[in-house]
Amino acid sequence: MRRTILKSLLGTALFALLHLCLADSLPAQTTHHTEQLVEAALLRAQDHYRAGKLNEAAGLLRGFIVSQPDSPLINHAYLYLAQIHHDLNEPERALDYLDRIAPDAWTPQASLLQARLLLGTADPLTATDKLLQLDMSTLTLAQRQQRWLLLSEAALTREQPLKGVFFLYQSLLTEGDETPEQILGRCRIVIGNHLSQQDLEEVAFMYQATPIAALANLHLGWQALAAGHKELALQQAEKVLQDPAGRSFHDEALELLAPLSDSTTFQRAIGVLLPLSGRYAAFGERVQRGMQMAQESFRPPIPVRFIYRDTAGDPGLSAQQLSDLAIRERVLGIAGPLVGVAAESAAIRATRERLPMLTLSQKEGLAESSLYVFRNSLTPQLQVRALVKAAIEEFGLTELAMLTPETKQGELFADFFEQEVRRQGGNLVAAETYTVDQTDFRRQVRLLRGLDPDALDEEETEAQEFDDHGNPVLFEKEPPPFQALFLPDYADRISLLAPQLAFYGLENVQLLGTNGWNDPNLLRQAGAFVEGAIFTDGFFRHSPYPFIQEFVANYFELYGEEPTVLDAQGYDIGGILLHLFTEFNIRTREDLRRELSTVQNYPGVTGATGFDFTGEADKILFLLQVQDGAIVQIN
C-alpha cells in the first residue's frame, strides 16, 4: 500500500518536473519536431508507469537516455528509472541509475529513494548516515515524515528498537502521506515484537501523554495478565483509560479490564449518555435537568446513582463510553443517548454487553434492533397513530388528505399517515408535497381540490354574481373531496401556509398537525386561520392534570423558566428507572431488562407510557386544539 502511494506521488512529481523542464530548459536550437518527439516519449512512459507497466516505462526511458544523452532532462530520467527498478525489487540496478545523476542535480527525493534502496540491500548504517546528512530545511513536510520513517526502519534493522520508537514519534508529529493511525500501526508492531519489558516501561515513561505511551501501557497490562499479576494488569488498563491520548485504545483497555472485573457484581447505578458539549449541548442539558429533578422526586429505599457521560453527539465516543460504563463502572443500565447516530452506535455496544438501554433518540429502528434497547421518545409514528384515531373515532372524519414537505421527516410522516389511515378504516383521498423554500401553495391546493392547477382562478373566469343584499359574489367554491387535511410541519411554515389554504378554497377543512404546531408563534402569526386545528404533542405544560402542574411549578421554582418537552422526557426516563428500582428487586441487568419490558401505563408527564414487544414506547399523547385563539388540551 505504502509503495503504491509513493509510486503514484513520485510519478506525478517527476513528470510534473519533466514537463517544466521541457518548457523551460530545452536549448533554443532544439527543433520543434524534436521537442514533440521527446515529450511524446516521456508522456508514453508516464502512461505506462501509471498503468503498472513498469518494464514498458523503463524501456521508453532507456531509449530516451540513449537518444538524448545531452538532454537537460537526463538526470530526471535516471531518477525515474531508479524508482521503477525499486518498484521491480531490483535495488542494485536502481542504485546504479542513482549513481549516474550529476552531483549538482541531486535532490532530496533522490536521497530518500537512495536510503530506501540501501535498506533493501541490507546497508542500514549507510542509509542512516545519508538520511542524517539531509538538510531538513530543504524538505517538504511529507519528505520530512518519510525521512523519520526511513530512519525508524534503519534503526529496527540495526536492532535499536528504542531509537526506532523515537523516530516513529517524530514522524507522528509531522504531517505527511501516512496518517497517525498508520504510524501507530507501525508503533504497535515495534512495541509488540521488538521491546523487552524494561524497554516498554521506558517507552511508557518517556512518551507520557502520547498514544505511544498508551500502547506501551496496554502491552504491559496484557503481559501482567498473562503472568497472573491481575492487580498490575488492572493498573495498566486504568492508565490507558484515564489518559486522553489513549482514546484510540479505550476499547482494547476495556477488553483487558473485562476478565479482571467480577461479572456477577454491579453498582446500583445507571449510566447516562447525553451531549453536554458541542452543537447538541443545549438539548442534553435539558434532559439532564429533568433527570436530576426525577432523582429529587423519586427516592428508592436504596439509592440509585446516575453516572453522566458527555457524548458530544459523537457516535464513536458514545460506544466507548457505554463500554466503559458497562465494564469499569458495572452499571445496571443506560439512559440515552439523545442524538440518533450516537444512539445507533451505543445500541450495538449495549447489545454486545447485554446491557439494557433506554434511549430518547427519534431514530427509527433502534428498539427493534435488539432485546436490550428500549425507546421513550415522541416519534412520528406515535403522533400519527394518535391523530388519525382521534380524527376517525372521535370526530368522524373518514375522508382525509395530506400536504407534506419534501424533507426526510415529511416523507416519514407521510408514509405513517397513509398506513395508519388505511389501518383504521379511513380513506386517503389526496396527497401533495411542497419544497422547503416554497412560499406560494396555489398549485398544491388546486391539486388537492381536484382542479386543474394551470387554469386561471375561478374568480377570473366565472361571471360575477350578487347575493340577496346586492353584494358581489366573486366565485362559487366547490366543497373539497375530503374532510381533514394533515400538515406535518413547524409553526413558521404553517403560519405561511394556513392563510393560503383559506384563500384558495379550503377554509372549511379540519386541519391536523404534529407537535411542531405547539408554538405560541402559531397563534400570533396564523390567528383565525388555524382556529379549530387539532394536533398532538408529547408534553403540554398548560395541561389541567395536577401532576403536570406540579412538575411545571417545581421546575420553574428551580430554574426560573418553564420546562420543555426535553426536560419532561428526562424527568420521565429517570422516573421510570427509579420506579422500577423501588418496586422490584433489581440485582442484575437481566432483571432490569425484564422489568422494562413489562412497563405499562407509567403515569409520566409526557403521557402514560409503556413498551411494546419490540421495546418501542406505547404512549397516550396529548391531543391539543386551537380554541378561541388559545391552545387547549382536549383529551
For the segment 472-503, what is each residue's pLDDT rounded down to a tens digit?
554 456 788 999 999 999 999 999 999 999 89
Residue 265 has what pLDDT? 84
Residue with grid cell 401556509, as numbered in its chain: 497
Residue 453 has what pLDDT? 86
Q: Report d(CA 361, CA 340) in Å as an integer.
A: 5
In CATH terms, the fold of domain 2-192 is: 1.25.40
Residue 85 has what pLDDT? 87
Residue 75 has what pLDDT? 85
Least confident span in 34-43, 87-96, 461-470: 461-470
- Longest Cα–Cα distance in the chain: 111
Q: Report d(CA 350, CA 323) in Å as an integer.
A: 8
> What tens digit of pLDDT does each residue of 553-608 get?
999 999 999 999 999 999 999 999 999 999 998 999 999 999 999 999 999 999 99
CA distances from 593 to 123, 429, 458, 550 (A): 63, 43, 62, 30
Give residue 78's pLDDT band: very low, low, confident or very high (50, 70, 90). Answer: confident
| C-beta of residue 398 within 8 angstroms of C-beta of residue 425 | yes
Helix 32-50 with 74-87: angle, nearest 10 deg: 20
Give residue 337's pLDDT band: very low, low, confident or very high (50, 70, 90). Answer: very high
- Count the Cβ atoms, other than its own, within 10 Å of residue 197: 12
pTM for the model stands at 0.72
- Count the Cβ atoms, other than its own, within 10 Å of residue 488: 29
Buried b / exposed e over 68-106, threshold 16 CB at 10 Å, is beebebbbbbbbbbbbbbbbeebbeebbebbeebeeeee
The CATH 3.40.50.2300 domain(s) of the chain lie at 380-537
Q: Are strands 607-611 and 602-604 parallel, antiparallel or unpaired?
A: antiparallel
Give residue 37's pLDDT band: very low, low, confident or very high (50, 70, 90). Answer: low
Give residue 8's pLDDT band: very low, low, confident or very high (50, 70, 90). Answer: very low
What percent of the chain lies above the pLDDT cut of 70? 91
Q: Are strands 269-274 and 305-310 parallel, antiparallel or unpaired?
A: parallel
Cα-based angle 607, 527, 502 (whole degrees, multiple of 5):
105
> What tens digit of pLDDT does each residue of 224-265 get?
998 889 899 999 999 999 999 988 898 899 889 888 877 778
Least confident span in 92-101, 609-618, 619-628: 92-101
> What tens digit of pLDDT does each residue of 520-561 get?
889 998 889 999 999 999 999 999 999 999 999 999 999 999
Q: What is the mean pLDDT of residues 379-398?
A: 95
Residue 505 has what pLDDT? 85
- What is the SS3 assignment for 550? helix
Q: Which long-range contacts (CB under 8 A, 24 or more apart) does 597-602 make?
A: 597/374, 602/572, 602/575, 602/576
Question: In sequence order, which ranges of 311-441 are alpha helices (DSSP H)?
Answer: 315-327, 340-353, 380-389, 408-423
| C-beta of residue 595 within 8 angstroms of C-beta of residue 580 | yes
Least confident span in 27-36, 302-311, 331-340: 27-36
Give residue 12's pLDDT band: very low, low, confident or very high (50, 70, 90). Answer: very low
- Count the Cβ atoms, other than its own, within 10 Å of residue 301: 6
Look at residue 373 and tell me whether its pLDDT is greater than 80: yes
Q: What is the mean pLDDT of residues 273-294?
A: 96
The CATH 1.25.40.10 domain(s) of the chain lie at 2-192
Q: Report d(CA 420, CA 426) in Å as an integer.
A: 8
Classify residue 613 as left (phi > 0), alpha (psi -120 to 50) or beta.
Answer: alpha
Residue 40 has what pLDDT? 72
E strand spans, 476-565: 484-486, 510-513, 534-537
Residue 351 has what pLDDT? 96
| C-beta of residue 217 within 8 angstroms of C-beta of residue 183 | no
List % helix, strand, coil for the chain (3-state, nearest 5).
55, 10, 30
Of 138, 139, 166, which Cα lies nearest the Cα of 152?
Answer: 166
Of 534, 550, 535, 536, which Cα lies nearest the Cα of 605?
Answer: 550
Q: Report d(CA 307, CA 63) in Å as an integer.
A: 73
Look at residue 74 and tell me whether its pLDDT is greater than 50: yes
Examine residue 244 and say whether the peptide bond preceding it is cis (omega within 30 degrees of 0).
Answer: no
- Count the Cβ atoms, other than its own, within 10 Å of residue 229: 14
Look at residue 623 and tell me whether its pLDDT is greater than 70: yes
Q: At 15, which helix (H) or strand (E)?
A: helix 2-24
Give residue 54's pLDDT band: very low, low, confident or very high (50, 70, 90). Answer: confident
- Count the Cβ atoms, other than its own, within 10 Å of residue 600: 10
> What tens digit of pLDDT does each residue of 207-216 get?
999 999 999 9
Look at residue 309 and tell me whether its pLDDT is greater than 90: yes
| C-beta of residue 618 within 8 angstroms of C-beta of residue 609 | yes
Give residue 23's pLDDT band: very low, low, confident or very high (50, 70, 90). Answer: very low
Q: Are strands 622-627 and 617-619 parallel, antiparallel or unpaired?
A: unpaired
Q: Report d(CA 592, CA 332) in Å as an integer.
A: 7
Look at residue 30 and tell me whether its pLDDT is greater than 50: no
Q: Domain 380-537 maps to which CATH number in 3.90.1150.10, 3.40.50.300, 3.40.50.2300, 3.40.190.10?
A: 3.40.50.2300
Give residue 621's pLDDT band: very low, low, confident or very high (50, 70, 90). Answer: very high
* Average model confidence (pLDDT) across the chain: 88
Q: Report d(CA 578, CA 299) in Å as an integer.
A: 7
Q: At residue 72, what are phi and psi to the nearest 5 degrees? A: -65, -10
Residue by residue, DSSP assigns 109-162 as HHHHHHHHHHHHTT-HHHHHHHHHTS-GGGS-HHHHHHHHHHHHHHHHHTT-HH
Give 520's contacts (C-beta < 8 A, 6+ positions apart): none
